Structure 1
Amino acid sequence: MKLDILVFGAHPDDAELGAGATIAKEVANGKKVGIIDLTRGELGTRGSAEIRDEEAAAAAKILGVTVRENLEYADGFFMNDKKHQMGIIQILRKYRPDIVLCNAIDDRHIDHAKGSSLVSDACFLSGLVKIDTKLEGSDVWQDAWRPKQVYHYIQWKNLKPDFVVDVSGFIDKKTEAILAYGSQFFDPKSDEPETPISSKNFIDSVKYRARDLGRLVGTEYAEGFTAERHVAVDNLDALI
């Protein structure tokens, strides 16, 4: 199965928080989009890995993605090394995305920057023909594949985006997908410990950040991304 866009997140809910509205918009435009979670978020203060598995499946259904997988790397302790890179290379060659979205290049949680560099490095290595991979249980060697672009969504820190996507009309879908993670975010009835992302202010900030980015570019809502390479367009009209 070939996907147009593959979105990676260090934890379940990273993709929704960073790029949920963009994902929903691309799906509505007919693109095949997948999400790959690197870990099950088992070190999270609230909830459990099993609960987050269920929440991730519910969020994927809301966004309408074609596929969602979890690589079950160790939350907090995965590394940007050969073992982890090879797992991502197998996934990239399995789904052959043209565009990859992944974690922020710098952020509060150490897994976000690690996940960012891990996926980015794997995207380059996946294009090298002398790296041999097979999917587990298969005898077929995979063909090399390198995505055309790797973009990084923005998370806790207010990084300066290289470009933004107009997501007007899709912010409610993003919010719905985020709130599918009932164990993680604001719930006045919850008796679990408070975390930086469990407050109502945090949930509100997701929308007002998108509204502010939209204001800056003349739309209602927008999501920001950073790019590893220059973003090319056919003509100046494409920038409007």
Structure 2
Amino acid sequence: MKLDILAIGAHPDDVELSCGATLAKEVSKGKKVGIIDLTRGELGTRGTADTRDEEAFNAAKILGVHSRINMRFADGFFVNDKTHQLDIIKMIRYYQPEIIICNAIDDRHIDHPKGSQLVSDACFLSGLKKIETFYSDEEQPQEPWRPKVVYHYIQWKDIQPDVVVDVTGFMEKKVESVLAYKTQFFDPNSQEPETPISSKNFTDSVEYRARNLGRLIGVEHAEGYTVERFVAVDSLFDLK
């Protein structure tokens, strides 16, 4: 399946929290969008891996993405090594995305920068023709593929973005997809232990962080990204 955008997160809900509105906007414009979760979030304090699977499925339906899979890497313990890189390379070559969006380059949770670097390295290696991979039980090796650009979304830490996307009109769908993770976020009736992301302040931050970025570029809501190379435009008039 050829995708326009492939969004990758270390845990189910990373993508929704960080670039959900961007994905919903691109889906509304007819772009084919997919999500890959590296782990099932099985070390999460609240809920279980099974509940996260169900929540991720429901969130994907809300966003309208065309594909969502889970790599089932070990939550908290996956590493950026050859084995994991090859697993990601296979998926990049299978989906052939023009754009990949992945975890923050630096963050509170150790899996986020690990996932960020793993995906970034795999994107480069995926373009090397002497690395041979096979998807599933196919007999022919996959063709090399390298996305045109890799963007990193912003998570817990307030990293200064290089690119800011106007997502006005798509925050409601983003918030709905986030709240599909019922076990993870604020619920005054929950008997689960409190975590850094289960507070009302955190849930509210999904809205107010997007509103603040929007304020800075003169729109209602926005999502920010860092990029690994210079952002190039054909004309200064392409910049808002």
> Fold conserved (TM > 0.5)?
yes
Partner of 2:59: 59
Q: Which residue number in structure 2 is paired with residue 233 of structure 1? A: 233
The residue correspondences of 1:216-227 to structure 2 (distance < 5 A) are 216-227=216-227
* 2:30 aligned counterpart, secondary structure: coil
If the length of structure 1 is used for normalisation, what is the TM-score?
0.99
Instruction: Classify the secondary structure of the residue corresponding to 2:54.
Output: helix
> How many angstroms does 1:236 deviate by?
1.3
3-state SS of 1:72 partner: strand
Aligned length: 240
Q: Which runs of 4+ in 1 moved over 3 A?
A: none
229-238 or 110-119, larger mean C-alpha shift:
229-238
Task: For 1:63 and 1:140, locate their aligned partners in 2 and report how far apart those are by CA, in whole Å.
Answer: 33
Q: What is the aligned-residue RMSD (CA, Å)?
A: 0.5
Q: 1:48 and 1:216 mapped to 2: Cα distance?
A: 38
TM-score when scaled to structure 2? 0.99
Identity %: 70
Letter in 2 for 1:225: Y
Structure 1, residues 90-145: CA drift from partner, whole Å, max 9, x if none? Answer: 00000000000000000000000000000000000000000000012221210000
Q: Which runs of 5+ in 1 are unaligned?
A: none
Aligned equivalents of 2:219, 2:35: Cα separation in 1: 27
| Deviation for aligned residue 1:158 | 0.3
**Partner residue in 2 for 1:76:** 76
Equivalent position amino acid for 2:30 in 1 = G
The residue correspondences of 1:1-240 to structure 2 (distance < 5 A) are 1-240=1-240
Give how far 1:188 is off. Answer: 1.0
Per the TM alignment, residue 3 of structure 1 is displaced from its structure 2 partner at its CA by: 0.1
The residue identity in structure 1 corresponding to 2:74 is A
Distance 2:72 2:138 in 1: 20
> Unpaired segments of 5 or more residues in structure 2?
none
| 1:181 shift after superposition | 0.2
Aligned counterparts of 2:77 and 2:136: Cα–Cα separation in 1: 23
- Could you say what secondary structure the match of 2:178 adopts? helix
Counterpart of 1:2, as a letter, is: K
Q: State the Cα distance separating 1:54 from its structure 2 match.
A: 0.3
Partner Cα distance (2:86, 2:55) in 1? 27
CA distance in 1 between partners of 2:24 and 2:122 (Å): 25
**Aligned partner of 1:202: which letter?**
F
